């Protein structure tokens, strides 16, 4: 199991236990955090946008070109931060145990 710390859109901090190998987007969607993941993980909708805590950002695999382009595109619809990532592009494993993140505002 991997334990992640999630701050929801109301500011409430919760810990979520997730099976290794799970996509972060799926864990957040199934955990009722308001993450839609409309594209199912294809990196094409931005509805799984999260803010990774600064001390964790460098510890994750870097965003690929498709993810960078999508994050840039959603910048017109939601505020971006240094740790803006698409949770559909982050697969959880023991190296992410303790991951700290905040759910970004919903894209309307």
Q: Give the whole-angstrom CA distance, residue 14 versus residue 78.
A: 23
Residue 30 placed within a domain: yes
In a domain, 9, yes or no: yes
Domain-located, residue 108: no
CA-CA distance, 7 to 19, in Å (whole number)? Answer: 19
Say which CATH number the domain at 88 has: 3.10.20.30
Query: How many separate domains does the chain show?
Result: 1
Burial 37-55 (b: 16+ CB within 10 A, else e): bebebebebbbbbbbbeee
> Domain limits at 41?
2-103
Query: Is there a domain that residue 13 lies in?
Result: yes
- Is 82:53 a contact under the CB 8 Å cutoff? no
pTM for this structure? 0.94
pLDDT, tens digit only, all 108 positions of the chain: 999 999 999 999 999 999 999 999 999 999 999 999 989 899 999 999 999 999 999 899 999 999 999 999 999 899 999 999 999 999 999 999 999 999 999 987
pLDDT of amino acid 107: 84
- Whether residue 12 is contained in a domain is answered as yes
Does the residue 55 lie in any domain? yes
């Amino acid at each position: 199991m991997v334990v992640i710390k999630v701050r929801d859109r109301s500011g409430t901090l919760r810990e979520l236990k997730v099976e290794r190998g799970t996509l972060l987007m799926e864990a957040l969607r199934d955990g009722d955090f308001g993450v839609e993941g409309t594209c199912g993980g294809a990196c094409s909708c931005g509805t799984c946008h999260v803010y990774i805590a600064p001390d964790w950002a460098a510890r994750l695999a870097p965003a690929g070109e498709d993810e960078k382009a999508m994050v840039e595109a959603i910048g017109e619809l939601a505020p971006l931060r240094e740790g803006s990532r698409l949770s559909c592009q982050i697969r959880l494993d023991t190296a992410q145990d303790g991951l700290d993140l905040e759910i970004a505002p919903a894209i309307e």
